[in-house]
Amino acid sequence: MIQCHGLQKLYESHLAVNNVSFSLQPGQIGGLVGPNGAGKTTTLRCLAGLIPATAGDLTVAGCRVQTDLIELKRRLAYVPDDPPLFDDLSVGQHMEFIGRIYGVENHQRKSVDLLERFELADKTHAGATTLSRGMRQKLAICCAYLFDPQVLLLDEPMTGLDPPGIRCLLESIVERAKTGATVILSSHLLAMIEDVCTHLIVMQRGMLQYFGDVEQLRHRYPEARNLEQAYFAATRSDDTQTASQNQPLSPVPATI
């Protein structure tokens, strides 16, 4: 599960994330949405323990992020939007490496299945530098799936994927959640978020504008015909409200 309480992140004097709280249980999929610069990546990186939070209490997969970093790494996978790969390793060697360091039983069999599922099997012996952007993304996702993490943080994972790749990814996320994983999926593709997410985390200018299940958001904005319209309602305003880093632009409650 993920418990994010009062997360704050300052980059020098810039308040990138301001007092953000939400929680997700096993089996839940949170769609993390918001305009460019809203603080989504910063939030994910803090939850993954990649950068230190300035303030807040974060528990992910049963680990306190601030103190249980090593154990957290065993239980969590974070896939950034531009995944760093090892230039000297092939696709198959990436899977072999992850399988070994995480001590995955039967990792060779699982690797073959994952690479086939994500249509990378014919690239098993290809070097990472020869992969297209979408293939790099798929390989990072396969590496993340290989050790069956309890928590998956996926930052704009659809970027660069072709339509079958997107479908495959979304189906696999739902399957993982059904087996008890907790997932956060950051994306600007609202229709896809709507398809798979049980919960929504809407951020704007570092603040939480909405947290709750998808149905609640629909009830909040009954005039909205789809998630996109509810999203615009929840993040509306730039020209009608006073821009303030410290005040939510929309009075949407963050419920936990």
Compute the half-sphere exposure of residue 182: CA atoms within 13 Å on the CB side of its CA: 17
Residue with tokens 């660069």: 160
Instruction: Report if residue 42 touches ligand ATP, rule: CB under 6 A.
Output: yes
Q: Tell which one of 6, 11, 108, 244 touches ligand ATP (CB under 6 A).
A: 11
Q: Please answer whether residues 56 and 4 qualify as being in contact, where contact means their C-beta atoms are separated by less than 8 angstroms.
A: yes
Q: Where are the beta strands (DSSP E) in 25-73?
A: 29-33, 55-60, 63-64
Q: Residue 14 or 178: which CB sits closer to ligand ATP?
A: 14
Instruction: Report if residue 48 touches ligand ATP, rule: CB under 6 A.
Output: no
Instruction: Report if residue 14 touches ligand ATP, rule: CB under 6 A.
Output: yes
Q: Residue 44 or 61: which CB sits closer to ligand ATP?
A: 44
Taking CB under 6 A as the binding criterion, the range among 10-18, 19-27, 130-138, 172-180 that sits at the site for ligand ATP is 10-18
What are the C-alpha distances in Å from 137 to residues 104, 220, 252?
21, 35, 34
Q: Residue 98 or 200: which CB sits closer to ligand ATP?
A: 200
Q: Residue 75 or 236: which CB sits closer to ligand ATP?
A: 236
Q: Number of residues interacting with ligand ATP: please give it, by CB under 6 A.
A: 11
Compute the half-sphere exposure of residue 119: CA atoms within 13 Å on the CB side of its CA: 13
Q: How far is the CB of 123 from ligand ATP (least distance, A)?
A: 27
Q: Tell which one of 30, 31, 34, 165 touches ligand ATP (CB under 6 A).
A: 34
What span, in angstroms and rounded, lies between the C-alpha atoms of 19 and 118? Answer: 38
Q: Tell which one of 40, 94, 110, 123 touches ligand ATP (CB under 6 A).
A: 40
Q: Tell which one of 4, 16, 48, 201 touches ligand ATP (CB under 6 A).
A: 16
Contacts of residue 91, Cβ cutoff 8 Å, sequence gap at least 6: 115, 120, 123, 124, 125, 126, 128, 131, 139
Nearest CA among 104, 81, 78, 76 for reference residue 1: 76
